[in-house]
Amino acid sequence: MPQRADRHEIRIRITGTNNPEQDIEDLKAWLEREPWLDRRRHDWLLRPRPAGGGADGPGDMAVGVDDLILVVVGAVAAEITKGLGIALQEWLRRRREERDTGERPAVAVGAGEGDPRPLDEAGPGAAAPEHPDPGSPADGSGSTAGD
């Protein structure tokens, strides 16, 4: 996609999972089904994460994983911002429900070259709820000593 003044990049970073490359592909497929994105010219890029990391949530379980960049041509309207936020929150909620033991899935979002900020179900800036590890007694799916 050519460089243009009306070209906007949105950086999406997935952290805290055992297979971030697969999560990137799954998230792309999840977002491609969204009507607000389907109506706009867009493209996907992978860009290396800046060295040194940041305070954007749990650490990576794989070094050298790229960030996903959504490139949108045209004005980035409130529809895209709101639609992307809702879609990412839903994807993250589902990903957390399906997580493996020890995973702490998180998503951060930011403008192109900017440092992404954590996204969670309660909205930007709020602490993400703790979900017990699958199979643990606190999860409700594991057995207890009384069983």
- Give the model confidence (pLDDT) of 2-42 as tens digits: 555 688 899 999 999 999 999 999 999 999 999 999 888 89
Express each pLDDT in 57-90 by its tens digit.
Answer: 444 444 567 999 999 888 776 778 889 999 999 9
Angstrom distance (rounded) from CA 125 to CA 55: 12
Q: Given strand 117-119, what is the order of strands in its sheet?
A: 42-48, 66-73, 7-15, 106-111, 117-119
Q: Can you list the positions of beta strands (E) in 31-137?
A: 42-48, 66-73, 106-111, 117-119
Over residues 122-138, mean pLDDT = 44
